[in-house]
Amino acid sequence: MKYLIFVILLLPIHLKSQNLIPNGSFEDTTACPYLCNQLEKAVGWYNPTLATPDMFHSCNYNCNYGTANGFQMPRTGIAYGGYVTGNPFSNGREYVGTIISTPLIAGECYHVEFYISASHQKFVTDDTQIYFSDSLIIGFPTYEMLPFIPQVFNAQGNYPDTTNWTLVQGDYFATGGENYMIIGNFFDTTNTIYIQHLPSTFPGGSFHYIDDVSLTHSPCTGLNEINTLTVNVFPNPVSKIINFKLNSDESFDLNIFDSASKLFHHSSVMESASVDVCNFTSGIYTYRLVNSKNSFVGKFLIY
């Protein structure tokens, strides 16, 4: 009798989640952009308003990496995007929108990452957010601030500079069917923090370069992490009760401030706490968790 013997070799398999943003580094184009303000020539990217977000590409002699906004090399590849995040005197904005290759699954967690760099303009802000949508948003008036509540926020104090590429990241739990993602500043001037990072001789405003955008289906925790302290804040945005959960059994002081740095709430937190915000005015609030060993700062939106 003959036997067939099958030998199965069990080898380690390393799986990397697929990027659901097909052209996250702006490399693929429908045609070489002949001006800066032609983001739509990057495959899979679109302009939600009638403003003029940019694409910088090596093929464009008139607008590759050196412009009136300064000089920056791509983080990877040969291209990157750019958008106006506003200035202290107006709500003028630009946004960059992209198509998600597969609709998001309700209740599942997704991790978003991208890199930003500051242009050579007078101001810079840490206020960049992400909005997920199940429908295509286009045609809003030029430089109008989009009237949507973003779901993912850049960490407070995570300012870009003119030399490096700064990572922006966050987790998102899908409601289901989201097929589009928009990046930009959804906060008005009152709720946006601008700092002057270049001499006053430079033009006003804040402009971000952007590269290497990714969205992956991930077993993410929904936690933000600084040093060893992790904090889960939910729901965000919030209308009634906001919850804080910490991975620490130590006591922390919790302070909540409005956009004018007015203290609205103070309490002590150990592992978890809930705060009633029903009587708070709608807007952006900053929370600070502090003790003798650690600290955490973040933002949430009340609508």
Cα–Cα distance, 109 to 75 (Å, whole number) = 26
8-state DSSP, 49: B
Question: What is the model's pLDDT at position 6?
Answer: 39
Question: What is the model's pLDDT at position 26?
Answer: 97
C-alpha R_g of the chain: 21
Question: What is the model's pLDDT at position 65?
Answer: 85
Q: Does the pLDDT of residue 152 top 50, yes or no?
A: yes
What contacts 4, CB < 8 A, 6 or more positions away? Answer: none
Q: Does the pLDDT of residue 10 top 50, yes or no?
A: no
Domain spanning 39-217 has what CATH number? 2.60.120.260
Q: Which of 24-28, 213-217, 224-228, 235-239 has the lowest mean pLDDT?
A: 224-228
Q: What length does the chain have? A: 303
Beta bridge partners of 167: 115
Instruction: Please name which of 85, 108, 77, 93 lies closest in space to residue 213, comparing C-alpha atoms.
Output: 77
Answer positive or negative: Cα dihedral of 217, 219, 224, 226: negative
The residue ranking higher by pLDDT, 220 or 134, is 134
Amino acid at 46: Y
**Which pair of tokens denotes residue 208?**
């971000």
Instruction: Please name which of 301, 85, 82, 84 lies closest in space to residue 193, comparing C-alpha atoms.
Output: 85
Answer positive or negative: Cα dihedral of 134, 38, 183, 25: positive
Per domain, the residue ranges of the chain are 39-217, 224-302
39-217 and 224-302 share one fold: no
At the second CATH level, the architecture of 224-302 is Sandwich (2.60)
Cα–Cα distance, 214 to 154 (Å, whole number) = 15
Cα–Cα distance, 240 to 107 (Å, whole number) = 21
